[in-house]
Each structure stands twice: as structure tokens, then as C-alpha cells.
Amino acid sequence: MKINRRHLVIGGAASAAVLPFGTAARAQAKEVVIGVIYPLSGASAQIGVDAQKAFQTAAELINNKYDFDLPLARDEGLPGLGGAKVRLVFADHQADPQKGRAEAERLITQEKVSAIVGTYQSAVAVTVSQICERYQVPFLSADNSSPSLHRRGLKYYFRAAPHDEMFSQAMFDFFDALKKKGKKIETLALFHEDTIFGTDSSNAQLKLAKDRGYKIVADIKYRANSPSLTAEVQQLKAADADVLMPSSYTTDGILLIRTMGELGYKAKNIVAQDAGFSEKALYDAVGDKIPGVISRGSFSLDLAAKRPMVGKINDMYKERSGKDFNDYSSRQFMGLIVMADAINRAKSTDGEKIREALVATDMPGEKTIMPWKQVKFDAEGQNTFADPVLLQYVGGKFVTIFPEQAAVAEAIWPMP
Amino acid sequence: MTTATIIQSLASGLLMGLLYGLVAVGLALIFGLMDVTNFAHGEFLMLAMYITFFLFTFFAIDPLLSAPLVGGAMFLFGAVAYLFVIRFAMRAKANIGMVQIFTTFGLAILMRGLAQYFFTPDYRSINVSWLGGKTISFGGIFLPVPQLVGALVSLAAFGALYFFMKKTDFGRALEATREDAGAVALVGIDKNKVFALGWGLGSALIGLAGAVMAMFFYIYPDVGASFALIAYVTVALGGFGSVFGAFAGGIIVGLVEATTALLLPPSLKAVGIYAVYLLVVFIRPRGLFGSI
């Protein structure tokens, strides 16, 4: 279409007419719409369904009065916006970055969301955050852990939780600490899936191993959702490292442990990069084969002993989902709290104002359900105060074993 | 690379291959009979695995015992799917190929959605079956018992199918309908009955596959996808329409996958399968044992 002066005048008049009404309508909004993008169907659907419950629990806390020392819990709705309620719009990305891109666009243009939270798979977070950047809508990675995500110079990208380098660092700190105590750890075997999560995770681990003098005896990249992992396990078995370090989602994790059993390979120790290894489904399926497995995490129910509200909020989540909070659902829960807190302080649903409020975030650790020191974003939108923890699966549940200040038990090493 | 490693790889590849064969045979049977590619094949497998899982959870029937039951249930399901869905798709006046693709594809999406709705997307598994987790080992070679039994079931099922096709009246009717559906109608054979029987048989085979796989694989609404893709390649490799070809194709795919993983990084093991497939299609477009 050729644009002539008449079009410009009409267009200008139209936007002039719409704009003030738009802002006026927004200022009095009785609700704030937040988009939540997760895999609600497909191979990781269970994660999305559990995430939905975690977000609903957070929304309930925000929208109603509760006596918890958590931002927004004691008020009804967002006081900064005249008590406006938070309304969540869920979108399904089916673990597909392209579908994630399309859904983000739909949420922003059709559903008029003020912010987006997501996405479980880091590969999807890449595309969703790009769309958010283009529309200047703040995006918060609730549970993505790939380090490359916050290093793309995006202005609207934020992550309150730790990333894989921080997680991997904690693992290697743990190895170093064990070595000081006289345990033998020399060789490591990496086993990682072939999308951004597995690749970033193994890159971080490769680098740390080199820096700190550990020998990588196997570095196996495999195709996610393979029908068989026999060949992969054979190579792990041949390498027989002191520590096996898997970065796998649930299905592959189950198959890995099953196949190890079938091929007569018992790992001396397993220190996992979370994902499948923090999922109940994996422990239901093969938990008996890996007593004493260690996984990194950002959450532990142990915290409830120090901070009783953690236990109470966990009960609220459990009522909805039938499950305890795990590493994922806890971060998802906190993701919405952090975002809603920023919107509340921004006193606006405007993207730029919310962004400014996110930048100014300074939430003390005790006001969260996580073992974090605080929530405070650096120039790249990463919270560098999110201390990761290592958890060991003992007697059917996880106990915190590292770092020392958070630990409630001594690590059992080697695995029983 | 030790001899044990090589033998282990080939043995694992063979066991997996026999299973791939069993999964693919049903697909080939239906295709051979009426030129319909069942795009819901993976979902049929998923349903069979769920039936096995529920029989185990609620009635404590071991997958080994429930395999014939699951086969029977899937026989009925397949026949009903034909009579109530596929039959109507086959009546399309134009673009029949597209219609049948969309119909079976739609069926697949529907089944997946229903499974997610009713069974939830949680990952299930059967941990305490008689054979689950057991392994035979000798000389450094490990053979998981569930897969071994799966391979035997696969061989037996293929043998039975072969016998049925060659020696029984129904089997001969099936063969005849496959050759010329129009002509058999003239001699009074009800084409719809034969087709329903074909769908039933093909689905029963996938039922057996699902039952044995439930012993060692996890179960969730999308589980069919990873196996279905291999099944399509297997059928194309072995030759469209050839039940024997599908079976042989499965074994080849299993062995090629294992060998590739031995020689190349494991993340590339699927490359071997597709390379062999392309090679076959180049040299012999109808597949190794294809007749059309």
C-alpha cells in the first residue's frame, strides 16, 4: 500500500484517539495479564502441567490475603495498581522453539499480556525472549538454566534462578571439598542431550574440569528421546569414571538408568545436572537403582525447618498437584512472585516501566522460598545471588548436602 | 574396541531390531492390504502400552501374561477403528490419498490428546514385572531378559502371521483382497470384513509389541512418536506392502543403528539408518523386498 498524506492523517488521528483511552483503561485495570509459556503437550507435557499448578498457587497467593513473609502475600492483588488481580494466560509451546515464538507473539498481540514467564526448555526461551525483546515486553526465565541465555545483550530478559555454570561450579566446589577430605575423584564422564540445555551444560563442565584438573574420560552427546541408549551406556561403562554427570530430561534419564542396569553397569557416583533427575517420575521408575544419586538444585524442602512458610506454601501446591515442590515448580512459583512484585512496584503495565522495576529489584532471600541470598539482577538480567545447592537422594527423598551453610547432612560418598 | 564390545553391540542391535520389526509388521500389513499408511501407528503402540500398564496396576497381571489380552484388545480396537473411521475415509471421491493421510493423522492427534487428558502426561513404568530388570550375562555380554523375551515374541508372532496368511482361508482371502479387491467382491467375499480383519491383525501385532515394551520402556502419551518414525523407515526400507520385508527391515535397522553408534558418536546413530535407507531407495525404489 502506498502511504499518502490522507492515510497519515487518519492513522495519526486514530492512534491519538486510541492512545489516551488505552492508557486510561490500563490505569484502572482490575487485572494484570501475565503470559505463561510451557510445554503443555508433547514429551515434556508433565512439566508444563505441574508448572501450571505452581503458577496458579503463586497467583492465588498474590490475589488473596495470606500471612506469609513473601512479597504481595499480605495484600489482596497488587496494591501498586489499586488492588488489580493477576490473571494468567497459559500457552503451549510443545517444546518447539518455533511454536514458542508464535505463542509469545500471540500472547503479546492478542492477549495483551504485560509480561511473559517461561519456558522449561532453554531452546524455547531463546525464541520467546527474542520476541519479547522486539515488543519490549519483559520476559522472566523461571527455570531455564543455559548460561548463554542472559549473554545475548537483551534488555528485557531476566532470570532470578542460577544458571548451569553456577550449578556446575557448585558441583566442582563439592568435588574439591571431597578431595580435600581424602576421597578419590579423578575421572569424570559427561552424558548430555543434544539441545541447548545439554550442550551448554557440558561446555560448562568441560571448562571447569580442565581448570580444576579433572580428567574427562567420556563426553557423550546423545539424541534426546532416543528409543535406545545401549551404545551410549556401553561407552560409559567402558570409561567407568569416578563420577557420571548426566544432563538429561526425564525420559532419557529413565532410559539411561534402566539401560545401565541391563548392561551391568553400576556408576560409582552420579552427580546430575537436575532436569530429569529432579523429577518424581524418574524416581518412581528407577529410583531403587540409584540410591544416593546427587543432583544440583535450587530448592530443598529442608528449608521448611528454617522457614515454616516454605512448608505451608508447599502444602498449597501439593493440594493442587499431588506433588511436593521440586527444583522446577519452586523456581516457577518464585518466577511469578518476582515478576508480579516488579509490576506492583512499577505501578504500571507498561513494558519499559516494568523493566525498570525489575532492574531495581532487591528482594531479600528470606522473603523467598529458595535458599538464595537475595534476588538482584546484574546488568545482563541475571541474579548472581542465587546460590545453588546439591541434593542427595537418600531413603526416598532429597536432603541438602552442599554448600556447607545450607547442608543438613553429610554426603554419602561413594554412592551406596 | 574389544570383541566383547562388538558382540554386545550386535546383540543389542539384533534384539532392538526384532522389536522394530514387530512394530513395523502391523504397519506393513495394513499398507499392503489396502494402500493405507496408518499415521496413528505410534499412537496404537502407545494405547497398547497403557492397556498393559493398567492391567498390571489394577489387576496385577504381568505384561508377559497380559500380552495376548492386549493383542486381543488391540485387535478389536483396530477393527473398530477401520469400521468407524477409516472405512469412511476410503469412500472419498477425490484425493483419496490425502484424505486417508489426514484421517489417520487426525486419529493420531485425537488419541494423543485423549491419552493426555485421561491418563495425564505423567511418565509411567512397570518396575516389578517378573522379567523387568533381569539380565543374563556371559563372557562380558549382557542380554536384558525383557528384550530377549520381546525378540522371541516377535519371532513367534511373525511365524504365526506367516502361517495365518498362507494356510488359512481368511489369510488367503486377505492375500486375494490385497491382490485385487474388486475381483474378490465378485466371488462374494465381503471386502469390508477382510479389511477390518487386516486392521485387527495389524493392531494385534502392535498390541503384542506394546505389551513387551511396557516391561522395559517408560509410557507416556507421546511415546509412540520415536518408534513410529523408525517403523515408517523400516517399512520403506523393507519394501512397501511386504510383511516379510518389514520384519527383515526391522532387523537391519536395529543392526545398522548399533553399528553406527559403535563407529560414530552416538548422537549420529540415526544417520546410519537414514543413509542405508537412502541407499536402498536409490538402488531399489520399491524397497528390498517390495513387490509394488
Chain B hits for A246, Cβ within 8 Å: none
The C-alpha atoms of residue A91 and residue B272 are separated, in whole angstroms, by: 37
Q: Which residue has the cell 577430605?
A: A181
Tell me the mean pLDDT in the region A158-187: 94
The C-alpha atoms of residue A281 and residue A105 are separated, in whole angstroms, by: 32
Where in chain A are all domains bearing CATH 3.40.50.2300? Answer: 31-162+306-385, 165-297+390-406
Query: Could you write out the DSSP letters of every residue in A68-87?
Result: -SSTTTTSSSBGGGTTBEEE
pLDDT at A3: 52
Chain B hits for A230, Cβ within 8 Å: 9, 12-13, 16, 258, 261
How many angstroms separate the CA of residue B224 from the nearest CA in chain A?
A: 10
Other Cβ atoms within 10 Å of A26 Cβ, number: 16
pLDDT at A411: 93
Q: Is the pLDDT of residue A84 over 60?
A: yes
pLDDT, tens digit, 9 for 90 and up, residues B93-139: 888 888 989 999 999 999 999 999 999 888 999 988 888 778 998 88
Q: Residue B135 and residue A238: Cβ atoms within 8 Å?
A: no
Q: Residue A49 and residue B217: Cβ atoms within 8 Å?
A: no
Q: Is the pLDDT of residue A246 over 80?
A: yes
In which element (H, E) is residue A346 found?
helix A327-346
Asked if B288 and B240 count as a contact pair (C-beta separation under 8 A), the reply is no
Kindly calculate the radius of gyration of chain A based on its CA atoms and give it in whole angstroms.
Answer: 22
Which parts of chain B have pLDDT scores under 50? none
- Give CA A227 to chain center in angstroms: 27
Tell me what percent of the residues of chain A surpass a pLDDT of 90.
78
pLDDT at A404: 83
- Among A231, A254, A289, whose Cβ lies nearest the Cβ of B262? A231
Chain A hits for B116, Cβ within 8 Å: 41, 45
The C-alpha atoms of residue B112 and residue B34 are separated, in whole angstroms, by: 25
The C-alpha atoms of residue A54 and residue A33 are separated, in whole angstroms, by: 17
Q: What three-state secondary structure class fits A272?
A: strand
The C-alpha atoms of residue A339 and residue B203 are separated, in whole angstroms, by: 50
Q: Residue A231 and residue B258: Cβ atoms within 8 Å?
A: yes
Q: Residue B120 and residue A46: Cβ atoms within 8 Å?
A: yes
Would you call B129 an interface residue with chain A, using a CB distance cutoff of 8 Å? no
Would you call B3 an interface residue with chain A, using a CB distance cutoff of 8 Å? no
The C-alpha atoms of residue A238 and residue A212 are separated, in whole angstroms, by: 24
Chain B hits for A225, Cβ within 8 Å: 225-226
Chain A hits for B133, Cβ within 8 Å: 258, 261-262, 289
pLDDT at A5: 52
- Among B121, B137, B230, whose Cβ lies nearest the Cβ of A49? B121
pLDDT at A294: 96
Would the CA dihedral through B241, B246, B248, B254 be positive or negative?
Answer: positive
- Among B125, B222, B230, whose Cβ lies nearest the Cβ of A227? B230
Q: Where are the alpha helices (DSSP H) in chain B?
A: 3-34, 41-59, 63-81, 87-89, 96-119, 145-167, 169-179, 181-186, 191-213, 223-238, 243-263, 269-283
The C-alpha atoms of residue B216 and residue A230 are separated, in whole angstroms, by: 13
Best residue of A258, A259, A260 to probe chain B, by most B CBs closer than 10 Å: A258
Chain A hits for B8, Cβ within 8 Å: 234, 263
Chain B: residue whose CA lies nearest to A231: B261
- ipTM comes to 0.90
**Closest-CA residue to B206 (of B20, B26, B29):** B26
In this structure, what C-alpha cell is assigned to residue B157? 508372532
How many angstroms separate the CA of residue B52 from the nearest CA in chain A?
A: 16
- CA angle in degrees (0–180, nearest 5) for A226-B10-A262: 60
Q: What three-state secondary structure class fits A404?
A: coil
pLDDT at A24: 44
How many angstroms separate the CA of residue A117 from the nearest CA in chain B?
A: 22
Assign A336 a pLDDT band (cuts: 50, 70, 90): very high
Q: Residue A220 and residue B266: Cβ atoms within 8 Å?
A: yes
Q: What three-state secondary structure class fits A262?
A: helix
pLDDT at A19: 46
Q: Residue A281 and residue B269: Cβ atoms within 8 Å?
A: no
- Give CA B257 to chain center in angstroms: 17
The C-alpha atoms of residue B145 and residue B149 are separated, in whole angstroms, by: 6
In the CATH hierarchy, which fold is given to the domain comprising A31-162+306-385?
Rossmann fold (3.40.50)
Other Cβ atoms within 10 Å of A287 Cβ, number: 16
Chain A: residue whose CA lies nearest to B136: A262
Q: Which residues of A touch B (CB under 8 A)?
A: 41-43, 45-46, 48-49, 194, 220-223, 225-232, 234-235, 238, 250-251, 254-255, 258, 261-264, 279, 281-282, 284-286, 288-289
pLDDT at A4: 57
The C-alpha atoms of residue A91 and residue A70 are separated, in whole angstroms, by: 27
Q: Is the pLDDT of residue A30 over 90?
A: no
The C-alpha atoms of residue A190 and residue A168 are separated, in whole angstroms, by: 12
pLDDT at A6: 54
The C-alpha atoms of residue A318 and residue A300 are separated, in whole angstroms, by: 15
The C-alpha atoms of residue A167 and residue B227 are separated, in whole angstroms, by: 34
Query: Could you write out the DSSP letters of every residue in B228-275?
Result: HHHHHHHHHHH-TT-HHHHHHHHHHHHHHHHHHHHHS-GGGHHHHHHH
CATH architecture of structural domain A165-297+390-406? 3-Layer(aba) Sandwich (3.40)
Give CA separation, B205 vs A170, B21, B80, B200, B250, in Å.
Answer: 50, 10, 16, 9, 14
pLDDT at B188: 82
Q: Residue A251 and residue B220: Cβ atoms within 8 Å?
A: yes
Q: Is the pLDDT of residue A29 over 70?
A: no
The C-alpha atoms of residue A226 and residue B224 are separated, in whole angstroms, by: 12
DSSP code, position B1: -
pLDDT at A283: 92
DSSP code, position A264: T
Other Cβ atoms within 10 Å of A216 Cβ, number: 17
Query: Could you write out the DSSP letters of every residue in B63-76?
Result: HHHHHHHHHHHHHH
Best residue of B15, B123, B129 to probe chain A, by most A CBs closer than 10 Å: B123
Tell me the mean pLDDT in the region A300-318: 91
Chain B hits for A220, Cβ within 8 Å: 265-266
Tell me the mean pLDDT in the region A212-224: 94
Tell me the mean pLDDT in the region A220-236: 91
Kindly calculate the radius of gyration of chain B based on its CA atoms and give it in whole angstroms.
Answer: 19
Would you call B220 an interface residue with chain A, using a CB distance cutoff of 8 Å? yes
Task: Number of A to B CB contacts under 8 A, please give it.
Answer: 110
Give CA separation, A77 vs A55, A64, A87, A341, B187, in Å.
Answer: 15, 6, 10, 11, 76
Best residue of B114, B219, B222 to probe chain A, by most A CBs closer than 10 Å: B222
- Among B123, B257, B266, whose Cβ lies nearest the Cβ of A46? B123
Tell me the mean pLDDT in the region A364-392: 93
Return the bridge partners of A294, or none.
A271, A392
The C-alpha atoms of residue A190 and residue B53 are separated, in whole angstroms, by: 33
Give CA separation, B200 vs B31, B34, B36, B50, in Å.
Answer: 13, 13, 14, 18
Q: Model's pTM, two decimal places?
A: 0.84
Q: What three-state secondary structure class fits A214?
A: coil
Chain B: residue whose CA lies nearest to A44: B121
